[in-house]
Chains A and B, each alone.
Chain A
Amino acid sequence: MGNINQIFNTARDAILANLTAMNVTSSNIANVNTPGYSTLRPDFGSTGVFNAASDQQQVGVKITDVERLYDKYLDAQAVEQEQYGGYSQSQLGVLNNVQTIFNESTGNGLNSLLSQFWGAWSSLSASPTDMTERDSLVSISQSLASMFNQKSNELINTQQDLNTEISDDVTQLNGYLAQMADYNNKIVQIQNSGGNPTDLLDKRTQLLQQISNLVGVNYYEEANGALNVYISNGRSLVEGNNVWNLAVQANPSNSNFYDVVFQDTPSQTINSALKGGTIAGLLDARDTKISGYLSSLNTMASTIITQVNALHNSGYDMNGNTGENFFSTATSNAARDMKVDPAIVADVTKIAAGATVSGDGNVASSIADIQNNASLMGSGMTIDNFYESLISRVGQDVQDAQTNSDHQTAVLNEVQNQREAVSGVSLDEEMLNLIKYQAAYNAAGRLCATANTMMDNLINLGIETALTT
């Protein structure tokens, strides 16, 4: 035996279910441009058992679940690629800056000054007592020393900028970690009470990618929904709602540049445990690459200073005295501190050009010949060759960083595209779904109206009308 009420119930179920579905569709449409939003799909499930013989004569419908479309594997890939991307982007940015410091293409760089320096000694050897030649030599030597100072200082300044940036990034990371713990907290709570915190899950995945961009991480999702995040050596950053912050610690054996440490163990540096991510990229640029360039510059400066001084000391100046130092003695920061000895600047007759007291130019000639000495810098390189190979190295490092960065960008784009294909909102699809749900809603409404009419008929059975009298 049928029951009109059951029709109402069924219609009600249908209307509510389709209304919910349309709400889900409207959420999707509203969030079509939200980054990291995963499309939601309502799952329709039938309820009830159909048994024609008994009271159970309807199969209702309800929304059993709102499913979040995402691919765990793609998420994991995105997180991993972000760390490589962060690393190579940060390196590329720094190295491009460094490259402009070493810009030789206009021909006014160190290479040209070195040539002028050797040339000035050679000219002096041809006219050893010419005061104009001496003045010119001092002037060029001072320009050379200035350029070494300048390049050295620019490299050191870049290192200090990176230092500040590393500190800022660590602060930013700590902010993210706090947020991650917060999300974990809320997600666990909501899931415990049976809810489905889809937007929090989306936001947490986004956050994880941002964290990975800064620092390469591993992660693990617990059964209760919390996400635990570790760095590569296994130490935790976030577990549930517990956070272990990072901090920076000045390292006196590295010019007081910052090391990255855990806040609770400030004496243990974790620089080498940070693999991938912007912070690791900056650390490598600061401590390996730029330090390397600086050290090469220092080697060049100190070799020039030592070799020129040694020959200069063996010669005689215009006053018959043995030559003093031409350059001030090299310090450990030879390039930054290089300068022509003030005694020479004050009195150019003290330039020792001659090998005898009589006024020849043989020592000047030998000093000019340092340019051709291929045993000074190892591997058969002259000082000029050494600088050329330094520039090549800078260029190669930039090229490598560019290639890596391009590659990472392409891979990341590919992963993002795949994610979009799975989780992204397609307006076309949502429109069609809207039509679908709307039609079902209308049909359910029609069902209601029909049942209503039938109910009316039933209720009005046995009521006198004009026809029955």
Chain B
Amino acid sequence: MKYDLLYSSISNIQNQNNDLMTKLSSGKEVNEPSDNPLGMGQILDYRSALAQISTYKNNIDSSNAWLSTTESSLSSVNDILTQVKETAVSQASATATASTRQTAADSLQPLIDQILSLANTKVGNSYIFSGTRTDTEPFSATSSAAHIGPAVKAIGDAFDGSVSSGGTYTAGTSNKTYVVKIVSGGAIGAATYEVSEDGGRTWLAGGPQATGATINVGTEGVQLNFTAGTKDFAANDVFTVNAYAQGYYNGNGEELSSEVGSGVNMAYNVTGEAAFTSQGQGTVDIFQRLNDLKTALQNNDTAGINSQLDYLTQASNQITRYTALCGTRENGLNTSSSTLDDMNTRITGLNSNVEDADMAKLITDYQTQQVALQAAYQMAATLTSNSILNFIR
């Protein structure tokens, strides 16, 4: 019986020993959920938080890259506009002649081309001034009248007939992406559809209407024409058509944003619409004004040149406004970034408190265990040598 007792206390100590060894070799206090159930839950929570912080910081970095390119492009545009304005001022005065104005007009074109090139800047494969249509070059060299682009049938549509756009974009004041989505499938005339004016995010009131060979898309003059194929419409078939207001701009006015904090989405783009046109949020059509100035110079039109001077100031202000906005946003992002850094440090510390082992304490405990183990072994040895059998001869 005494041997049993001894054995169980030795094996107890050895079990505790094994536990200590695990903690010593991993450096962690919590190696299994059962070591500290609540603590394990906390550790997982901290890890999730740290991973999220890392994601936000990545997003901040990519937003910053976009913003700094935007800022430097706009800043360069502003420099050129200042140059243009100087030329315009000097050519508006009485000392200018037809030939100086002609020379000025000629020297204006390269500057306009430069601004065009800056307005079509890309970051990676994305145009930065196109709004959300980052695959489309935002500005053309020449102005176009209001027009409707071709109708596009989405690749996965069941409908295999043909679709074309029609009508005139008479009432439109800015570029729009119209989306027609089939609600309930069927043949032309039986299927129903709904219309979105904002690229498919929200749908116009009035509920689904019946399709037909020609349908009105929205209320601003855009139409779509359908020709039946072998397969009917299916629900969720999508048809897209872009409508362009008069001008040089081919993008839209939507913002791009990314998540830089929990539930915090920050816009990081400046649309060409706002910075360079008079559509949407913009007030001055810069390219139009520059081309008008060039025409006035070529025509030796003093009054014409004078009337552009004001617009040039407004243009400069418009560009400056958005340049400053970029700067403000960058500052905001940097603040967020350093806040995230602080959170990172704090949460790492909290995690370490729960998860990491106190090495000094572990080693001390280990030494104590060794002493206890030795004592137990010693006792086992002496027990076997003491028995009445030693004394009976």
* Interface residues, chain A, with chain B CB atoms under 8 Å away: 99-100, 102-105, 107, 111-112, 114-116, 118-119, 122-123, 125-127, 129-130, 316, 319-322, 350, 354-362, 365, 368-369, 371-372, 384-385, 387-389, 391-396, 398-399, 402, 413, 416-417, 420-421, 424, 427-428, 431-432, 435
Contacts and interface: CB of A to CB of B under 8 A. Distances in A.
B155 interface: yes
Contacts of A395: 32-37, 40
A421 to B, nearest CB: 7
B337 interface: no
B257 A365 contact: yes
A358 B199 CA distance: 7
Contact of A356 (B37, B62, B152, B254): B254
Given A119-B51, A359-B133, A368-B259, A385 B33 contact: no
B94 interface: no
B258 interface: yes
A385 B258 contact: no
7 contacts: A100-B32, A126-B63, A126-B258, A319-B155, A350-B156, A427-B389, A431-B389
A360 B33 contact: no
B200 A321 contact: no
Contacts of B5: 417
Contacts of B378: none
A251 to B, nearest CB: 30
Q: Please indicate which of the listed interface residues A115, A371, A435 has the most CB atoms of chain B within 10 Å of its own CB.
A: A115
B40 to A, nearest CB: 5
Kindly list the 5 A-B residue pairs having the minimum CB-CB distance in the complex, ordered from nearest. A395-B33, A356-B199, A395-B37, A115-B51, A398-B34
A365 B265 contact: yes
B364 interface: no
Interface of B: 1, 4-5, 8, 26, 28, 30-38, 40-45, 47-48, 51-52, 54-56, 58-59, 62-63, 124-126, 131-135, 152, 154-157, 177, 179, 181, 198-201, 236, 238, 240, 252, 254, 256-259, 262-263, 265, 387-389, 392
Contact of B201 (A122, A356, A387): A356
Contact of A122 (B44, B59, B124): B59
User: Interface residues of B: mostly helix, strand, loop or mixed?
Assistant: mixed
Contacts of B28: 105
Contact of B8 (A107, A316, A321, A413): A413
Given A115-B51, A385-B45, A413-B8, A125 B258 contact: yes
A394 B62 contact: no
A372 B200 contact: no
Contacts of A399: 34, 37
Contacts of B200: 316, 322, 355-357
Q: Please indicate which of the listed interface residues A316, A350, A421 has the most CB atoms of chain B within 10 Å of its own CB.
A: A316
Contact of B1 (A360, A365, A402, A421): A421
B377 to A, nearest CB: 20
A129 B41 contact: no
B155 A115 contact: no
Given A105-B30, A372-B263, A391-B33, A118 B52 contact: yes
Nearest to A387: B44
Contacts of B254: 356, 358, 360
Nearest to A320: B154
A428 to B, nearest CB: 4
Q: Please indicate which of the listed interface residues A99, A122, A130, A394 has the most CB atoms of chain B within 10 Å of its own CB.
A: A122
Contacts of B55: 118-119, 122-123, 368
Contacts of A396: 33-34, 37
Contact of A392 (B41, B63, B387): B41
A424 B4 CA distance: 12
Contacts of A421: 1
A355 B201 CA distance: 6
Contact of A435 (B36, B52, B392): B392
A384 B48 contact: yes
Nearest to B1: A420
Contact of B40 (A112, A129, A392): A392
Contact of A358 (B45, B125, B132): B132
A389 B26 CA distance: 24
